[in-house]
């Protein structure tokens, strides 16, 4: 006589039908699931071979199927890369390290077959080229942090698209590191817009007035004195600078007056930025 007492599957905890065998411990669904998992684990190579053969025999259908899936899931790639950024970065680095020679050969072959590609790409993507040079320079100087084109655009707009030193209006300001990048800072809070002339004259010197500009920036830009390097830079330039009235400087700054002060002064005279 069959046991009609209520019993449940030991895997999914779903109740068995009333007429289930007495010795049954797992439901049919869980038994099949376990069998499929066991078969897949024991036949992994066979599955890969069969899948590869199927794709080779059904190239067009497979392409259409993939294209249809991506059309139905347009945000999948962006979402996947955002959720797995670290894993993708680690895999890319590992792959490049393991296939360095093959990558060099392929890159050399492509350049030989397409000699004008990079020249054309650089002329069509000046912002990306600038970003590449900027990133390479920061790595070369072992600098912390980074900033984007959007960050620099926001900084220039905050300056009224005028040079932070001489006040000339320009839509082609240069991104200047207030504390030279060699000191290790590549953050947005360490960036200001200068015209070509002022940027060349300033070189890698640091202006006391520029340091206070950083210190008075809003909370969206990291304050300079939040790092040990920043504290050391401020202390060093305070020690060598003439007496400085921060309240007076802040008033001039709020009135859009550029105060040029400090022993390592690059520009010849102060300037007033007109609204």
User: pLDDT category, 264, cuts 50, 70, 90?
Assistant: very low
pLDDT at position 217 over 70 = no
184 or 114, which is more confident = 114
Confidence (pLDDT) at 250: 53
The region of weakest confidence among 139-148, 198-207, 250-259 is 250-259
If you average pLDDT over residues 56-85, what whole number do you get?
89
The region of weakest confidence among 183-187, 211-215, 254-258 is 254-258
Under a CB-based contact definition with an 8 Å cutoff, are residues 203 and 238 in contact?
A: no
Of 248, 71, 38, 255, nearest to 167 by C-alpha is 255
CA within 13 Å, CB half, 235: 7
pLDDT at position 228 over 70 = no
Q: Who's near 263: CB < 8 A, 6+ residues apart?
A: 240, 241, 242
Rounded Cα gap, residues 267 and 259, in angstroms = 11
If you average pLDDT over residues 32-59, what whole number do you get?
89
The region of weakest confidence among 104-108, 109-113, 154-158, 235-239 is 235-239
228 or 156, which is more confident = 156
What is the sign, positive or negative, of the torsion defined by CA atoms of 141, 144, 148, 153? negative
pLDDT at position 102 over 70 = yes
| Residue 207 CB-density burial (10 A; 0-12 exposed, 13-18 middle, 19+ buried) | buried
Confidence (pLDDT) at 108: 92
Rounded Cα gap, residues 171 and 163, in angstroms = 10
Q: What would the two tokens of residue 10 be? A: 């030991």
Using CA atoms of 208, 209, 210, 216 in order, give the dihedral in degrees to the nearest 10: 120
Share of the chain above pLDDT 70, in %: 73
pLDDT at position 37 over 80 = yes
pLDDT at position 1 over 50 = no
Q: What would the two tokens of residue 217 be? A: 């920036």
> Which uninterrupted H or E stretch holds 177?
strand 174-177
């Amino acid at each position: 006589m069959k046991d009609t007492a209520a019993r449940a599957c030991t895997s999914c905890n779903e109740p068995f039908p009333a007429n289930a065998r007495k010795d049954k411990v797992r439901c049919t669904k869980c038994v099949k699931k376990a069998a499929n998992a066991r078969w897949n684990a024991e036949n992994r190579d066979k599955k890969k071979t069969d899948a590869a053969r199927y794709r080779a025999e059904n190239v067009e259908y497979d392409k259409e199927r993939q294209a249809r899936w991506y059309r139905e899931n347009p945000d999948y790639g962006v979402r996947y890369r955002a959720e797995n950024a670290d894993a993708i970065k680690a895999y890319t680095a590992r792959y490049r390290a393991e296939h360095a020679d093959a990558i060099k050969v392929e890159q050399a072959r492509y350049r030989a077959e397409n000699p004008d590609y990079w020249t054309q790409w650089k002329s069509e993507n000046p912002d990306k080229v600038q970003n590449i040079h900027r990133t390479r320079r920061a790595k070369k100087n072992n600098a912390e942090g980074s900033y984007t084109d959007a960050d620099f655009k926001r900084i220039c707009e905050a300056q009224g698209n005028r040079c932070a030193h001489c006040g000339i209006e320009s839509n082609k300001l240069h991104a200047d590191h207030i504390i030279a990048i060699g000191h290790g800072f590549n953050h947005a809070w360490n960036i200001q817009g200068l015209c070509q002339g002022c940027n060349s004259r300033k070189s890698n010197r640091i202006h006391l007035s520029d340091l206070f500009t950083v210190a008075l920036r809003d909370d969206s830009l990291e304050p300079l004195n939040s790092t040990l390097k920043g504290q050391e830079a401020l202390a060093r330039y305070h020690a060598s600078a003439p007496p400085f009235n921060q309240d007076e400087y802040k008033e001039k700054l709020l009135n859009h007056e550029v105060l040029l002060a400090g022993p390592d002064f690059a520009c010849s005279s102060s300037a007033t930025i007109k609204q």
